[in-house]
Structure 1
Amino acid sequence: MTPTRQALLDRITDPDRAYDTPEAELRPLQLAAAQELFAERITQIPLLKQRAADAGIDAIRTPDDLLPLLFAHTVYKSYPQSFVDQGRWDRLLQWLQTLSVADVSRVEVRGVTDVDDFLERLWAAGHGVLASSGSGGKCSFLNHTPGDRELKARHFKHTTAWPLARSAPDRALFWLGPIKGFNSAVESAQINRVNWGRPGAMHALGSPLRIGEVNRAIALRKRIADGSATPGEIAAAEADAAAKAEQGRAELLALADLILDHRHEPIMLSGLWAQHMTILQRARERGIPDGDFHREAIVMAGGGVKGIALPPDYKEQVDRFYGAVIRPGAYGMTELAQMMPRCEAGRYHRAPGLVWLVSDERGERLLTAEHDADANGQATGRFAFLDLLHEGRWGGLISGDKVTIDFNERCPCGRHGPTLLDTISRYAASGGDDNIGCAGTIDAYIRGAVGA
């Protein structure tokens, strides 16, 4: 790893300084590190070389040079779905190679039966590929090296629960999800087990996360929508889903009882809003009042409300139930190794090794304090970044997230800015245009590279 990149990433070991660095000091170092990384990756990833040629960029000197080099967030699921549906794992490897630094072409894929088997083969060969759940229709596949995973674990060690608590491996951990599987959420649970968990005190749902099952469910929904699914297929899927739901509820209730039994200890608990409501309801059944948890308990909640019937004040109910515990927050995504913690003022801060960019909706022009900020020094646009941590792939991405950035020199918490407001949403979910200008040319290049 190049010196400037390494120095910026190493700053995370002192998070109080790392998350309070003046922009005037940090931005020149970030641009220098971005250029170091670009000079390496342009010789390793043909797609990046093509992006640079199309934009006429031979070096990164300013933030404007960086934006055209970022990939659209859809690129990591740009493979033809037929590669998965027809078991063309050799072709899927060929596609993955267009986005990877290391050579994945020699991974043995004969006899692979599904996506999870494919991922197991990659991991056995030293390629830590993580898959998104594919809830939007297709899985993303993102390559990581062993070094990436080590640096990500270090970042989480100093960032999770900052600035409210510091990690130490002395807590009972409760993760209201699977602890096995090739997914970034599972990886986060495993990292927290090392950084926070007392030996033998990790508790999670027992069933592994199987990406193949998610894919099959998505495929069936599509066949139902176009009328090609048979009644037998639908009935079998409904019966399987009902059985899994019953098993999952039983596991969750058992975990809820265990959590309530440990409520007077400084536990760490992470789950979806609906799962926290299940714990609350179980506490009501047991006669446990609100605010009966240890004040040093760490409780994290978020997501999981789509299609779930919850009361309008579910967040307020959960807050009252746990009481005055530690409630940290963070902003991140599967494609990002360095999550962004939320400060006491409810703003998200960035690590020195993470280059922030906010563009217009199409991802074609950077927003700046000079030309786009309102009277409060804020502007709303599409979040983009270069994550300097990644060695397995190019870490530059234009996301699907709509964010508001505050360009002011100081955050209301007193630390240096810029910061992101806690108003993040998806362009697609908010009815906005999620078409990124570069997406079409990137997809066309990849299709040409794999002959699809």
Structure 2
Amino acid sequence: MTRTKEDQVELLLTDPVALANHSLQNWLQLSRAEVDELQLAGLKRRFAEMRERIPVLKKLADAEGVEAIERLDDVVPLLFEHTMFKSYPPSLLEKNNFAAINKWLGKLVTPELAEKIAAVDVSACKGLDDWFETMDRDVPELCLSHTSGTSGALSFLPCSVREFEKASQVRRLYAWNMSGPDTPDPDMHTAYPYYRKGYLSHLRGVGALVKALLPDESHFHPAYPTTLSSDVLHLGAKLRAAHAKGTLDRLVVAPELLAKKKAFDQQQAEMPQHLANFFDDIASRLKGKRVYIGGTWNLLHNMAKAGLERGLEGVFHPDSYIATTGGAKGVVQPEGWREEVMRFTGAKALHESYAMSEVVSGSHMRCAEGNYHFAHTAIPFLLDPETSQPLPREGRQTGRAAFFDLGADIHWGGFITGDEISVEWDQPCACGRPSRYVVGAIQRYSEKNGGDDKITCAASEQSHREAMDFLNTLEG
């Protein structure tokens, strides 16, 4: 079947695995020229669709005088820095003023969704857990998540359920080693060394993967059968931030939150028993079965160490898919962690990727040569770390990573990271994949600069400040 260029762009944005006819080999071998052409067309279309419809994007585009996208670099002044997603006044959370937070959220999304968000009655919400549960129930197409809040403030990410589905379908290409739409279901299980549910972006992603990869929920085996409390995570982030600033004695904690903290402490006390049950389950019911296990490297390593201490080795089928990405910021990876994960699981390979919560479609897979190949669904940019102006898309360049998430369909997908990366734009990788890739180590600028990382937006400082002010004008 011959597809027009418009059809191909539509698939890249709405059903990317269909672009490769549900074949992993086809996906990996999409040519650079084809991907470049489709990505630029997809970016033009996303901007045309969203410029007048997402309030904070319109504010920034008006200030910068950007009316249309002709080249990829035209979008750089419109890439959001990470502070955009946590720019709500912190007092709103302290007062459980979720109606005002919803108003803030509405300026980051399409008008149809903003209208639904505004209509939700959140007046009875006593904290984050209540709020997320209410939003899930009343706006089912929205999959609101949050980051870990290492700075003391949580970023709220307004993604769609469909965004997570599209990303999970791409991951299924890899996990099932798909050769077409009729690839048989491998009857996978997931052993997951963490909580069953939660609103942390990683847990949201796991929830979507379970639906895409497993026959049903009974094939999902979490270590802890409860929901991870976002309220307790937020309290932990605030405690760390107050401790770092020396203001711990001034921190006021609401009684409801203290009660949640006590419940969480009780969960912690029960964890050893849950963990024992988890490993018993693995050793009996999942022995020799093909599993998908995804998590940050430290989560996988801790699971492997605990399993090896119990005498468990080579537990799963060799064709199991073990996937890992970053995490545990600031923690040095110990020697031999990969080997311990492989020894415990018995899998033939460990599949590593470079990803971030804010770019749902951007899981950049590491090849046998040790390079991270850019996902077709996320356009990479390399920015000057001082000015955030785009660096040339040629040769080998080092700078600040930024991305445009083409999968983002209800919010603007442009995002500047805190990562320093080196990109090889021209030289093909020895692994044989035609896509461009990251070479060498990925480092956070905050770690490089002694904890400080001030992102300078490519938009003029005035334009960016006006957009942030606009986002936080909550009255009226």
Q: Name the CA distance, whole Å, in 1 between partners of 2:102 and 2:254.
A: 34
Q: How does 1:52-131 map to 2 (within 5 A)?
A: 52-101=61-110, 102-103=113-114, 104-126=117-139, 127-131=142-146
The residue aligned with 1:343 is: 367
> Relative to 1, partners in 2 of residues 1:278 and 1:342: Cα closer, same or farther, differing over 3 Å?
closer
Moved more, 298-307 or 88-97: 298-307
How far the C-alpha of 1:422 sits from its partner, in A, is 5.6
Counterpart among 175, 179, 182 of residue 192 in structure 2: 175
Q: Does 1:434 align with 2:453?
A: yes
Aligned to 1:143, the other structure's residue is in SS state strand
Q: Name the CA distance, whole Å, in 2 between partners of 1:232 and 1:39.
A: 45
Q: Deviations over 1:76-120 (max 9, x none)?
A: 111111110112212111111111112222221111111121222
Counterpart among 198, 211, 214 of residue 197 in structure 1: 214
Q: Does 1:248 align with 2:271?
A: yes
How far the C-alpha of 1:174 sits from its partner, in A, is 0.7
Aligned to 1:105, the other structure's residue is in SS state helix
Moved more, 3-12 or 395-404: 3-12
Counterpart among 148, 152, 168 of residue 153 in structure 1: 168
Q: How does 1:362-441 map to 2 (within 5 A)?
A: 362=386, 364-370=388-394, 373=395, 378-421=396-439, 423-431=441-449, 434-438=453-457, 441=463
Q: Does 1:329 align with 2:344?
A: no
TM-score computed with the length of structure 2 as normaliser: 0.82
Aligned to 2:34, the other structure's residue is in SS state helix
> Relative to 1, partners in 2 of residues 1:188 and 1:340: Cα closer, same or farther, differing over 3 Å?
same
> Relative to 1, partners in 2 of residues 1:359 and 1:231: Cα closer, same or farther, differing over 3 Å?
closer
Q: Name the CA distance, whole Å, in 1 between partners of 2:439 and 2:178.
A: 17
> Relative to 1, partners in 2 of residues 1:395 and 1:229: Cα closer, same or farther, differing over 3 Å?
closer
Structure 2 letter corresponding to 1:358: L
Counterpart among 8, 12, 24 of residue 17 in structure 2: 12
Q: Deviations over 1:385-431 (max 9, x none)?
A: 11111121011111122222111242111111311236223221332
Aligned to 1:76, the other structure's residue is in SS state helix
The residue aligned with 1:213 is: 232
Moved more, 308-317 or 22-31: 308-317
Is contact 2:16–2:166 with CA below 8 Å preserved after alignment? no
The residue aligned with 2:3 is: none
How far the C-alpha of 1:137 sits from its partner, in A, is 1.4
Q: Name the CA distance, whole Å, in 1 between partners of 2:331 and 2:70.
A: 48
The residue aligned with 2:340 is: 317
Any stretches of 5+ residues in structure 1 without a counterpart? none
Aligned to 1:30, the other structure's residue is in SS state helix
Is contact 2:175–2:321 with CA below 8 Å preserved after alignment? no
Aligned to 2:381, the other structure's residue is in SS state strand
Structure 1 letter corresponding to 2:434: H
How far the C-alpha of 1:252 sits from its partner, in A, is 2.5
Aligned to 1:256, the other structure's residue is in SS state helix
Q: Does 1:260 align with 2:311?
A: no
TM-score computed with the length of structure 1 as normaliser: 0.86
Any stretches of 5+ residues in structure 2 without a counterpart? 1-5
RMSD over aligned Cα atoms: 3.4
> Relative to 1, partners in 2 of residues 1:239 and 1:181: Cα closer, same or farther, differing over 3 Å?
closer
> Relative to 1, partners in 2 of residues 1:168 and 1:136: Cα closer, same or farther, differing over 3 Å?
farther
Moved more, 227-236 or 237-246: 227-236
Q: Name the CA distance, whole Å, in 2 between partners of 1:46 and 1:107.
A: 20
Q: Deviations over 1:236-269 (max 9, x none)?
A: 9997765443323332232123223334222223
How far the C-alpha of 1:198 sits from its partner, in A, is 4.0
